[in-house]
Amino acid sequence: MSLLALPPELLVAIFECIDDPATLLPAASSCKKLHTIYDVGKHLILPRVVCNAMGGDGAFTASLLALRIDAILPDYDDLNPADVALFRADVQALKDSASTPTTAECKKCFERVRICQDLEVLYSRFRKDSSTSNVSRLTRTESSKFCVALHRIWLASLYMDSVVHDLCMEPVTRVPLLYNDYSAQDVYDIHCVLEFLGEQVGESLPNQNTPRPRGALQLECLFCGPENLLEAFLKPEKAADYLFNGDWDRPSGHPWNDDLRLVFIRLGLLNATATTLTIPTAIRPIVDPAVHLDLQQCWGCHEQAGFRLWAGNNWDRPPCDLRLETILNFLPGYLKRNAYERPLLAHYLGIEDPLGVQLPSQAPRSTMNRLTSVPHMTVARILQSLCDLPQLVNTMKQTTYVQNCPFFDITNADPLCSVCIRDLVKNRLWILWLSVKVAAAPDEEKKQDCWFGYDCRMQADNPEHAYALNHACPDTWRERNEKQSRHDPSQG
C-alpha cells in the first residue's frame, strides 16, 4: 500500500511527527495530494512540527509567550509608573490564554529553532564533548532541557527592554518577575545555560579593560538575548558590539548567584536565613559530569578539566580568544608590541595585524621580502608546529629554549585544558617565531640578544633598537648582572 493511499487524517498524523522544519516544506511540496492535505491541515501540523523541533511543549510555550510579549511591548510608556502594573497584568493574561499559535508565530519560532540548535552545538562542545563538530552530542533529555532553558532566557531578555526594566535590576524584584512560574530544577537549568553563556562571553572578550564581578557576565547574558549571543560567538572579533550595545544600565554587584539562592529559599530548599548558595543534591546539571566516568585529564596540569580539552582532533575549534588575528597577543612581554618583529610575524602568518596602525613606524630595513606568508594559515597548523618544535628548531640556542620549556615532550595526541593550551602558545610561539625568522633571513642569527629580551620596553617604542637586537629571547639582565658582580666583587 502506497503512502498516498492512506486516509487524509493519517497523512496529517504523519506530517505531525516531523521534527525538522527543513523537511516539512519539501515533504508538503512533493506532490499535489500531500500539498492539499498540508494546506488544509497546516493549522494543526505547523504547531506540532515546531513543538517537535523545539524538543517539547516547555520550549514552545516559552517561545510563544516571548513572541506575544514582544508584540505588545510598544504599548507601554516607560515614563508612566501605572504602565508597570498594566504590563504585568497583560503578561499574566497572555500566560493564561491558550490561543492556538498562528502560522506567522510558528514561522518565527522556526527561526528561533535554528539559533537554539547552533547554541546547543556550542553547549555540547563546552559541557559534554569537546570534539563535538557541527552536531550536538546531547541526549534527547539533555537537549530538551537545554532548549527549554534557552527559550526561557529569551523570554526573560525581553523584560530588560520593557517598562519593568527597573524591577530587573535587583534580585528581590527580579526573582519573582522572572522565575515564579518555574520549579527549582527549571531555574537551575536556566542557570546552567547562563553559566555556559557567561563563560563563552568571557572567552570572546579576553582583554576586558574593566573586569566584571563574578556572575555579572551571566546576568548580562540574560539580557542580551540568545540571538545576539550567537552572533557574538560566531564573530568573536565583534563580540563587544553584539553584547553591550544596549543603552540600558548594567546590573551592579554580583547578584546572579543570589537569584538562585532566593529561589531555593522560596521553594523551601534552603533555610530562610541562608546567606550563601548551596545546590541541593537532588538538583542536577543538564549534562551531569557524574555519568561520564571516562573523562580525560589535561596533559599539562593533570587537573580534571571537565569536557573542555583540546588535542589535534579538535584544534580547528580552539577557545574563542585563540584566533589567528589574536595570536600575536600570545607573544611574551613587550615582544607582542615589538615595532620590527610583530609586523614580520603578522606577515608570515598572512594576517592583517589589528595593532598595525598603533605601532610606531616600522624599522627602515626589513626581512619582510625574504619571509613569505604561509598560504591558508590556521590556528590548528600553528598548534601542530608548536608540537613539532623540537624537530623544527635549527640552532643549539633554540634547542635549549625548547628543552627548558615546560611543554618539552608534548605531542598532538596529548589533551590540554583551556589554560594549558594558551600556556603552550605563550611558551612556544616566540621560539617558533625565532626559528622561522632565522631560517628565512640568516642575518637575524648574527644579531645580539637584547639583555632584557622579550621584557625590553624599548622594543615597543624604538624601531631602530627593535631592529638592531634580537628580542625573541628571555630576559638575562639579572643573570648577566650577577655574573658580572661575581667577576668584579667591588661592584657589589
What is the nearest approach in angstroms of Zn ion to the Cβ of residue 424?
Answer: 10
What is the nearest approach in angstroms of Zn ion to the Cβ of residue 475?
Answer: 10
Calpha distance 326→329 (Å, rounded): 6
Q: For Zn ion, give the closer residue by CB, 124 or 338.
A: 338
Calpha distance 221→200 (Å, rounded): 10
Q: By rule CB under 5 A, what string of x and - marks binding of each residue 458-487 to Zn ion?
A: xx----------------------------
What is the nearest approach in angstroms of Zn ion to the Cβ of residue 388?
Answer: 21
417 interacts with Zn ion by CB under 5 A:
yes
Q: By rule CB under 5 A, what string of x and - marks binding of each residue 444-463 to Zn ion?
A: ------x-----x-xx----
Collect all residues with Cβ–Cβ distance below 8 Å to 141 and sequence separation of at least 6: none
Residues listed for the chain? 492
298 interacts with Zn ion by CB under 5 A:
yes
Q: Which of residues 334-393 bind Zn ion (CB under 5 A)?
A: none
Binding segment (CB under 5 A) for Zn ion, from list 136-144, 241-249, 292-300, 338-346? 292-300
Exactly one of 4, 172, 274, 301 binds Zn ion (CB under 5 A); that residue is: 301
Q: For Zn ion, give the closer residue by CB, 265 or 458.
A: 458
What is the nearest approach in angstroms of Zn ion to the Cβ of residue 299?
Answer: 7
- Which amino acid, one-letter code, is at 35? H
Burial class (CB in 10 A: 0-12, 13-18, 19+), 161: middle
Q: Which of residues 172-191 bind Zn ion (CB under 5 A)?
A: none
Q: For Zn ion, give the closer residue by CB, 82 or 301.
A: 301
Calpha distance 67→111 (Å, rounded): 12
Calpha distance 143→233 (Å, rounded): 20
Q: For Zn ion, give the closer residue by CB, 304 or 484.
A: 304
Binding segment (CB under 5 A) for Zn ion, from list 16-24, 288-296, 412-420, 424-432? 412-420
Q: For Zn ion, give the closer residue by CB, 58 or 463.
A: 463
Q: For Zn ion, give the closer residue by CB, 368 or 419.
A: 419
What is the nearest approach in angstroms of Zn ion to the Cβ of residue 419?
Answer: 5
What is the secondary structure of 178-247 as a DSSP string? HHTTS-HHHHHHHHHHHHHHHHHHHHH-TT-SSPPPTTHHHHHHHHH-HHHHHHHHHSGGGHHHHHS---
In this structure, how many other beta carbons lie within 10 angstroms of the beta carbon of residue 146?
26
431 interacts with Zn ion by CB under 5 A:
no
Q: For Zn ion, give the closer residue by CB, 69 or 298.
A: 298
What is the nearest approach in angstroms of Zn ion to the Cβ of residue 313?
Answer: 17
Radius of gyration of the chain (CA): 29
Q: For Zn ion, give the closer residue by CB, 105 or 423.
A: 423
Exactly one of 184, 383, 420, 432 binds Zn ion (CB under 5 A); that residue is: 420
Give the chain's largest Cα–Cα span: 106
In this structure, how many other beta carbons lie within 10 angstroms of the beta carbon of residue 183?
12
Residues 125/196, Cβ–Cβ less than 8 Å: no
Binding segment (CB under 5 A) for Zn ion, from list 27-35, 141-149, 409-417, 428-436? 409-417
Binding segment (CB under 5 A) for Zn ion, from list 126-134, 186-194, 299-307, 365-373? 299-307
What is the nearest approach in angstroms of Zn ion to the Cβ of residue 193?
Answer: 25
Collect all residues with Cβ–Cβ distance below 8 Å to 206 and sequence separation of at least 6: 320, 321, 326, 329
What is the nearest approach in angstroms of Zn ion to the Cβ of residue 205?
Answer: 22
300 interacts with Zn ion by CB under 5 A:
yes
Half-sphere exposure of 65 (CA within 13 A, CB side): 27
Tell me how many residues contact Zn ion (CB under 5 A): 9
The sign of the torsion formed by the CA atoms of 414, 385, 458, 406 equals positive
Calpha distance 176→237 (Å, rounded): 36
Calpha distance 118→112 (Å, rounded): 10
DSSP 453: G
Binding segment (CB under 5 A) for Zn ion, from list 4-12, 168-176, 223-231, 301-309? 301-309
Collect all residues with Cβ–Cβ distance below 8 Å to 145 and sequence separation of at least 6: 189, 286
What is the nearest approach in angstroms of Zn ion to the Cβ of residue 339?
Answer: 11
Q: For Zn ion, give the closer residue by CB, 73 or 301.
A: 301
What is the nearest approach in angstroms of Zn ion to the Cβ of residue 462?
Answer: 8
Q: For Zn ion, give the closer residue by CB, 258 or 475.
A: 475
Residues 127/287, Cβ–Cβ less than 8 Å: yes
Helix 57-72, helix 103-127: angle, nearest 10: 120
What is the nearest approach in angstroms of Zn ion to the Cβ of residue 467?
Answer: 11
Calpha distance 243→251 (Å, rounded): 14
Q: For Zn ion, give the closer residue by CB, 65 or 417.
A: 417
What is the nearest approach in angstroms of Zn ion to the Cβ of residue 418?
Answer: 8
Q: For Zn ion, give the closer residue by CB, 154 or 310.
A: 310
What is the nearest approach in angstroms of Zn ion to the Cβ of residue 162?
Answer: 43
Binding segment (CB under 5 A) for Zn ion, from list 24-32, 87-95, 248-256, 300-308? 300-308
Q: In Å, how far from its chain's centre is CA 71? A: 30
Quote the cell numbers at residue 87.
504590563
62 interacts with Zn ion by CB under 5 A:
no
Applying CB under 5 A, the residues found at the interface with Zn ion are 298, 300-301, 417, 420, 450, 456, 458-459
